[in-house]
Amino acid sequence: MKSSNDLSKVQDEGIILGLLQGAKDKGCEIFVWRFLGGEKHLGLTRIESIRKLRGDFCIVPQPGQERAVQELIGSLNFIDLYVPEYCLLLRCDIKQTDAPQRYYLKIPEFVAQIDRRKSARLNTQGDDSIQVKFSKLPPIPKGIKQQFTKNCFDLSAGGLSFYTSRQESKFFKVGDIDKELQLRAGDIQLNLDGEVTSVIEVEPDEFNGLSYKVWRVSYRFLNIDQISQKNLERFIFKRIKDELHVING
């Protein structure tokens, strides 16, 4: 099934400058990334300054990241950046390097931005490496707990959703709070509490690839800590690499 992540190409100079300025003012984390030996390697930086008249901006490594960033940039003519705060992907020509302290990059003519709602959301349909397990009581009195194991339809650092059958959908009601959702995303294992935010009937059509009607159940996480949230964000970023062709036009 085709992923439904929405990547929009932004070419307006004013919007691009505004996004960069916002990332600078907030001190946002900015990842320099590059494939080496078939694996993605990351270096953490921030924007130090923007020179609109010169058409460039300067990134500096975060403390302890100087060597990692220098090795990633090396002798390249361009570098790929990711700004999680804005779900922003950009490829910039390297204008000047004062390694390992500073790197001056040309302001790009366009960037790609992922439609993010509250956080970056990754379509995971058909991927059994991203699952949630939990138990839930039925809506009838004195019912027996039902055990669920579901492949996630999508995942973000703030929640998840999955498809279920009509019969199973009766177990879920908006506002339900369920304890110990056991989430597995690649090598990440988390136990989280979640609140049901929607239960939506989904008809098959030419876009979603479904062969029969299902119900989509969505949860938001209630108790996710900052470390787990960051780990999920990095996992999602790495998975988004399959759609980075947008950066190349």
Residue 60 has pLDDT above 70, yes or no: yes
Q: For the full predicted model, state whether its pTM sits above 0.85.
A: no
Integer Cα distance of 124 and 175 in angstroms: 24
pLDDT at residue 121 in the model:
63
Q: Are the C-beta atoms of 195 and 218 separated by less than 8 Å?
A: no
Question: Per residue in 145-180, pLDDT tens?
Answer: 899 999 998 888 889 999 999 999 999 999 999 988
What b/e string do you get for 39-67 counting C-beta neighbours within 10 Å, with b at 16 or more? eeebbebbbeebeeeeebbbbbbeeebbe
The token duo for 102 is: 């500073």
CATH superfamily placement of domain 121-234: predicted glycosyltransferase like domains (2.40.10.220)
What is the residue type of 104? Answer: Y
pLDDT-derived band at 86 (thresholds 50, 70, 90) equals confident
pLDDT at residue 248 in the model:
42
pLDDT: is 5 or 239 the higher one?
239
The mean of the pLDDT values for the chain is 83
pLDDT: is 40 or 18 the higher one?
18
Would 7-116 and 121-234 be classified into the same CATH topology? no
Domain 7-116 has CATH 2.60.40.420: no
Helix, strand, or coil (residue 104): strand
Give DSSP secondary structure letters for 121-134.
EEE-TT-TTEEEEE
Residue 203 has pLDDT above 70, yes or no: yes
Q: What is the domain partition of the chain in residue ranges?
A: 7-116, 121-234
pLDDT-derived band at 114 (thresholds 50, 70, 90) equals low
